[in-house]
Amino acid sequence: MSAGMIIAYILIIIAGGILLYMAFRTGDRRYIYFAVAFYVVFPVLVHLPLPTSISPEARQLYDAVDGLPDSSTVMLTFDYYPSTLAETEPMSRAALHHLFKKDCRVLTMTTIPLGGPSIAERVTREVAEKYGKVYGKDFVNLGYKANYVAVLKGMGSSIETIYPTDNSGTPLSEIPMMKDIKNYEGIDFIIAVADNAIIDYWISIVNSQYGVPVGTGVTAVMAPRYFAYIGAGQMTGMLGGMKGAAEYELLVNEAGTATKGMTAQSLVHLFIIVSVAVGNVIHFMERRGRRRRIGV
Amino acid sequence: MRTTLPVIIAFLSGFAMIFLFFLSPEYSSINGVELEPEILSWVTIVGGFTLLLGVVSIVRVNYTAVKRRKEGWGYKVATLVSIFAMAVPAIIPSSMSSLFGTGPGSIYDWLFNNLDAPMMSTMFAMLAFYIASAAFRAFRARTAEATLLLITAVIVMLWRIPMGEIVLSGIHENIPNLINTYIMNGANMAVQRGIIIGAALGAAAMALRIMLGIERTYMGK
């Protein structure tokens, strides 16, 4: 880290401290809001990269995908709503970069009706274009079908029964890539990127009942829950939140929005930690003052 | 009959799925049709109808409010316009024009990427401001349990960010690994396993109650 960057960090931390002091003095929470906005916007305008270490869970996912034979078939799910795109989309993008670099065939799908098919379509086509991949031969978007438990279970018997057509309405029987992908037996690995409890079903139905290895990308608030599945060997790696996405971007050497977002996330987290500490110091000082006044 | 029939359907559906789980495909086929995938495709079709039911319900409620000029009826007009603007072009087959359907370049796709996604992201992003404000005003170490929660939260928050890792590694290079081993893969994992097993047992008990007709809240009872 250069001296200029260290000075820049010190200055923006001091700015946050001043805003926190103002919030304390005036009791106006808008100073807090302004500080958060400042810490989110400033790193976007001024590039201040931070070194990111790789967690064992992200490494496990990367190694599992990297260890697949070239031209393997991988299912990538887009089980997330637009509200969590900042965390989840970079995971999908990094995974697609990794898969297309390895010439894997990618089958995408979603269990989210609100935008899932559109997100899958947009993200996959953007990354596929970079590698010259062709729809129908190298990747297919199955789209959305209602009732996720039935969808996950049903694909174990026959993908075509659940998805007679792809997202654009083309019958699966007319898509070359789908000729030898009939059910989970035709899929070598699943990367489930999600912002909801669908991950539990990918594990309990698809991994446990059909034996397909499942790696995941989940939001930061969900990540602690899934350490239990990693410990049990039911989950093959996990990307937790934007940090997990940044780790995968680093591993596949494709720095994207998650890597850029690390500085903003670091600053906002630190600001929240300092806010908690300051709030508690004030609380204890006030309590001590009250006790002294009443002579306890 | 209004309650008996749904209970019978629920029992038979649940029983069939449990029973078929233990049978290999050759023993669970009738005239060459495998029962399990057949029933599951019924479930997805029924799921589609429930979505339709939701749309009909939201249109009816909002239309009635607009018709009666209830408070905030203008917002309900916006809801109705949004529903039809998204749904109608998506339902029309893309074979008529690339503007229809849900594929790339369609009206639905444009509305989703340029209106829906930014609006939902904005709503979610606003949480950060409230969390920061709440952290300053409400997250207090009032009791021993709250203090433990607070200290753990601060340690994990630091561990999950690059800047925090630099701070923690500055104290001792092994601290990030110790957090991963003892907090996330230790205490956290043990508690999460308890929660997951408890929730699974609860779900099994609830399924049994529904199948046996003890639980009837899904029928509005």
Q: What is the pLDDT of residues B28-40, one digit of tens each?
A: 788 888 888 888 8
Per-residue pLDDT tens digits for B159-207: 888 888 888 888 988 898 899 889 999 999 999 999 999 999 999 999 9
CB contact at 8 A, A237 and A62 = yes
Sort out which chain A residues have CB atoms less than 8 A from B46's CB and list them: 147
> What's the CATH code, domain A56-255?
3.40.50
Judged by CB atoms closer than 8 Å, whether chains meet at A168 and B162 is answered as no
Judged by CB atoms closer than 8 Å, whether chains meet at A118 and B108 is answered as yes
Of A83, A153, A283, the CB nearest to B123: A83
Judged by CB atoms closer than 8 Å, whether chains meet at B161 and A266 is answered as yes
ipTM score for this prediction: 0.82
Q: Taking CB atoms and an 8 Å cut-off, how many pairs form between chains A and B?
A: 189
Sort out which chain B residues have CB atoms less than 8 A from A224's CB and list them: 184, 188, 192
Decide: residue B187, CB within 10 A, 0-12 exposed, 13-18 middle, 19+ buried: exposed
> β-pairing, A139-144 with A189-194?
unpaired
CA distance A20 to A22: 5
Of A154, A269, A283, the CB nearest to B161: A269
Judged by CB atoms closer than 8 Å, whether chains meet at A276 and B196 is answered as no
Of B102, B120, B123, the CB nearest to A117: B102
Sort out which chain B residues have CB atoms less than 8 A from A183's CB and list them: none
Give the bridge partners for A109, in sequence order. A77
The segment with the largest mean pLDDT, out of A104-118, A186-200, B44-58, B123-137, is A186-200
Q: Which DSSP letter does residue A62 get?
A: H
Residue type, A194: A
Structure token digits, residue A137: 């031969």
Distance from CA of B76 to the nearest CA of A (A): 20
Name the segment(s) of chain A with CATH classification 3.40.50.
Answer: 56-255
Q: Which of A30, A275, A288 has the highest number of chain B CBs within 10 A, making it the mutation to test binding with B? A: A275
CA distance B40 to B51: 17
Distance from CA of B37 to the nearest CA of A (A): 5
> Per-residue DSSP letters for B48-110?
HHHHHHHHHHHHHHHHHHHHTT-TTHHHHHHHHHHHHHHHHHHHS-TTT-TTSSSSTTSHHHH
CA–CA distance from B72 to each of A251, A258, B62, B78, B172 (Å)? 51, 39, 10, 10, 58
Judged by CB atoms closer than 8 Å, whether chains meet at A32 and B104 is answered as no
For the segment B82-97, the average pLDDT, to the nearest whole number, is 90
Closest chain A residue to B161, measured at CA: A266
Sort out which chain A residues have CB atoms less than 8 A from B94's CB and list them: 168-169
Judged by CB atoms closer than 8 Å, whether chains meet at A33 and B129 is answered as yes
Judged by CB atoms closer than 8 Å, whether chains meet at A53 and B176 is answered as yes
Of A29, A81, A154, the CB nearest to B41: A154
Sort out which chain A residues have CB atoms less than 8 A from B125's CB and list them: 86
Sort out which chain A residues have CB atoms less than 8 A from B153's CB and list them: 276
CB pairs under 8 A, 24+ apart, for B110-118? B111/B85, B111/B86, B112/A82, B112/A115, B112/A118, B112/B86, B113/A118, B113/A122, B116/A82, B116/A114, B116/A115, B116/B86, B117/A82, B117/A85, B117/A115, B117/A119, B118/A82
pLDDT per position in chain A (296 positions), as tens?
Answer: 677 778 888 888 888 888 888 888 888 889 999 999 999 988 888 888 888 889 999 999 999 999 999 889 999 999 999 899 999 999 999 999 999 999 999 999 999 887 678 889 889 999 999 999 999 999 999 999 888 888 999 899 899 989 999 988 889 999 999 999 999 999 999 999 999 999 999 999 999 999 999 999 999 999 999 999 999 999 999 999 999 999 999 999 999 999 999 999 999 999 999 888 888 888 888 888 888 887 76
Judged by CB atoms closer than 8 Å, whether chains meet at B109 and A168 is answered as no
Over its C-alpha atoms, chain B yields an Rg (Å, rounded) of 26
Of B41, B137, B162, the CB nearest to A52: B162
Query: Of B51, B105, B47, B107, which Cα lies nearest the Cα of B82?
Result: B107
Buried b (16+ CB within 10 A) or exposed e, A166-190: bbbeeebeebebbeebbbbeebbbb
